[in-house]
Chain A
Amino acid sequence: MDFVIAGLIMGGLYALIAQGFVLTFLTTRTLNFALGEFLVLGAVIGMGVGSWGWLPDAGKVAFVILTVGILGAIVYRFLVLPFTTEGPHDARWLLSTVGLSFVILNLLTNSQGATPKALGYGGFGEFSTVLGVRVTTQALVIAILAIAITALLVLMTTRTPLGLLMRAVSEDADTAALMGVSPRRIGMLAYAIAMGIAALAGVLWASQVGVSVHMGLPLLVAAFACGVIGGLTSLWGPLLGGAIYGVLTHWASFELGGVWGETAGLLLVVVVLIFRPEGLLGRRLEAKL
């Protein structure tokens, strides 16, 4: 039973990061393969502003979210959008964001070194008990935040005028453009929110495990897995995917040993992609003739 609770709590972190994939995929049909590095970037910037005594901790976190969010919008405008112009089969954006991830990762490795450093703020105490299982309070807070942010995003997309525009662009960007909506601006906004969420996850997680340039890739993989399992076209998808992936990987590494945790999770991704490529909650995207 322990692994279920622990898995669900970790799944919350994965789900939060996976929102970074879902938001951009929903609106622009693209993913930022450098998402893991944006997360690290959030943690590193968070460490950089750690010494600003005049700013309360919440302000520091907000500053990080804003900065990384703006960077996300810039990346969409200059590294993603120019590489989506040749129709639905155009996948050059995938390569440009992969290239970007190596640039960011390398820059951060050279400047920060490989050893983890303490963030120094943003922590929420030691341990909490959930249904008789001890978990770190930090992970619990992140999991609750993942649920809250998902609910907020769903409310935003269904209840606000901005959400309506986002859904319109998601449905059919060309037609939305004819109606006077700028898919470019909506896309930049989606990237800004998505990368802001990634940065938030980066800061909160780093405050528990320390700031390390290598924390990006494993989290990217996990988030990716959750996104695919839950469905990249559903805002609720990451929570479901995170829960399944979290529990499965915890169970597998518990029962079969460390290597098999992640491997089992990734094999599940392959199975889902094969039998339900749109994910458990996703919508099938019909190709138009």
Chain B
Amino acid sequence: MTSLLKRLAGGTGSRSVKAELRGDVLFALVIGVVGLIAILPGRDGAGTAMADMQLVGSIFAVIIAAIGLNLLTGYAKLVSLGQGAFYAIGAYGFAYLFLDGGFPALLAILVALILSGIIGALLALGSMRLRGPQFSMITLVLAIVVERILEQLETFGRASGYPNPLSHGTGLLEPIELFGTRLEPPLLAGTPGNVLVALLIVLVIVLVLYRNLVRSSWGRSLRAIGESEHLAAHLGVNVFSRKVVVFTVASVLGGLGGIFYVQIFAHLQPETFDIFLSITIVLSVILGGGGTVLGPVIGAALITWLQRSDVLTSVADAQQDLFGTDRWYLSTPGLLGLLFVITLFLLPNGIVGTANNALRRWAGADDESDADAALADLEVAQLPPREERREPGAELLRIDGASKRFGGLQAVGEMELAVREASIHAVIGPNGAGKSTLANLLTGVYQPDEGSFRLDGVELAQLKAHAIARSGVARTFQTPQVFPHETTLENVKAGFVDVAQLPLWKAALKPPSQYRREREIHDRAIELLDRVGLAEDASTLAGSLSYGKQRALEIARAMAMDPRLIVLDEPAAGLNPTECDGLAALLLQLREDGMAMILVEHHMDLVGQVADEVTCMDQGRLLAHGSAEEVLADPAVVAAYLGVPDPDDVAEMEVAR
């Protein structure tokens, strides 16, 4: 039992394809059974169970909206205050099309979902350059506009709601009919609310797809975006389009939640869809645990139950008794606001996130791996050779006439550089020589003003960072950039091309090939960790690794992309001498395997040890190029590093003396 829990918590236990499949089926079953138990009391339409059935139905609806928001806010860390707007668009859209439009039910549902998606996509296209408060504002603005329109537009009956007896002759929508069965809402005693069965089936399907999605490489790309868009781009993720897609998916799920709502209550009032609705959906995600699979499910159930049960009312009454006043107390909205603030203080990771962390700590408590193994004494394991054989020595990358100006400063000017297959080309130079700028130009952080960057004949110069990464250029950073809250293993998995290229449908549907691919990724990631000496740390959170280990992890992640060229930006910075030797051994081994590397480095011992060619830059320009011995002995290079006495200064000093 303990070992099972540990495996679940640590996540490194190798799960076979079969075990993975079993886990997925089990998830669907558990969700289905829990849902079934929840709707069971309403099976014979007893009047006493109606309120509970409406509660269960509302919970289903909010869960759908909350998992959508979780993709956006929990995983991609884009805080939307407008999920309620999509809920309203779905609900009113369906009701209007069904009643006034006369659409068949399923078509009305489909069109309402598409409508939510289109509005979401349009908003996303506009707002995805924004982050932080500006993004939240634009979503809040949407929520307010939608609320105002619903309140004031004659079509939707204003305060009388939709439909209303005055304009439609009825206050309730007809139940929809499916395969000859009327799906009755849980509203009238004696009529079983069998629509709940249909909703449960849809809910289970949606939850399974959602879980597949967030656990796939597609989900990894969202977490990468949430951590650092910059880094995500270097992993090959087209950040802009992915954000637009995730916002669209979140909007569609918001709309679906609203459609659920109509099926249960058959009537819409504008005040249901005020800004408070959006906030309760956000609260559901945060309280349950943003960025966890089950967090929003649990949060939505809890918050919806709190809102509809008597608990909060009795808390309000208790306050009045306690303080002896019937004026200064908090009722439901205020109590939920307070709960929100308390959650942020006490449970920043939410219920599920906190539980996961506790489980992880408990599982990790007794297998303290003795530490600083990475890089220092690594055993270099042989990797299977790449499929395509490269001819060592052939020219892979050629940089010609590269220039970049920042204002008046020529950071890089007319640089040229060539990298051969299976070789290490070191770029050295004093601080401010433009080495890092050159690396940033090559990897697309900046666009060069002039010059060409040809990788095996393909021009990279005007490509965006993610496109360059996809062309086969991986990189590491001067300050290691890892995902600190993920395990080391997950960090390496974030490097695989799937993160950028796995299609959405495949991630959600998870066909058999996807099970095998996940397995491959897992095995290969373990191999790579082993290779850089981090096998023992597979389940450690990357943020708690030492600096040297984080560097090793970055290299493993870069290798996971299976790149043609790796750009290493000062990999030895901050390493101790033993770690540095380990790094040298690793780089040499990578070269053996046929990897081409650019090594931007200050550490001359390392350069001397591993570099096949050395280019020295000074003030953005090429100063010297040749073998390590030649370049390091070049008087101009020595002068650039140490400075040469200016004859005038010498003369002045002599005069002074």
Contact = CB atoms under 8 A, between A and B. Distances in A.
A101 B337 contact: yes
Interface string A83-96: 10000110110111
B111 interface: no
A270 B148 contact: no
B138 A105 contact: no
Contacts of A274: 126-127, 129
Contact of B344 (A31, A89, A99): A99
A181 interface: no
Contact of A83 (B137, B149, B333, B344): B344
B282 interface: yes
A98 B340 contact: yes
Nearest to A225: B141
B336 A277 contact: no
Interface residues of B, number: 50
Contact of B340 (A102, A111, A228, A263): A102
A138 to B, nearest CB: 26
A98 B81 contact: yes
B338 interface: yes
B290 to A, nearest CB: 10
Contact of A273 (B134, B330, B336): B134
Nearest to B136: A94
B441 to A, nearest CB: 13
Contact of B134 (A262, A263, A277): A277
Interface in B124-170: 126-127, 129-134, 136-138, 140-142, 144-145, 148-149, 152-153
A30 to B, nearest CB: 8
A8 interface: no
B331 A110 contact: yes
B132 A99 contact: no
Interface in A71-122: 79, 82-83, 88-89, 91-92, 94-96, 98-103, 105-107, 110-111
Contacts of A263: 145, 148-149
Nearest to B131: A89
A89 B135 CA distance: 11
A28 to B, nearest CB: 11
Given A95-B340, A96-B344, A274-B126, A103 B145 contact: no
Interface string A257-289: 011001100110110011001000000000101
A89 B138 contact: no
B607 interface: no
B85 to A, nearest CB: 12
Contacts of A262: 144-145, 148
A145 B336 CA distance: 37
Interface in A203-236: 217, 221, 224-225, 228
A287 B129 CA distance: 12
B279 A102 contact: yes
A131 B137 CA distance: 36
B132 A106 contact: no
21 contacts: A91-B79, A91-B132, A91-B136, A94-B136, A95-B344, A98-B340, A99-B279, A99-B341, A99-B344, A103-B330, A103-B341, A111-B328, A217-B275, A259-B149, A262-B144, A262-B145, A263-B145, A266-B141, A274-B129, A277-B130, A287-B230
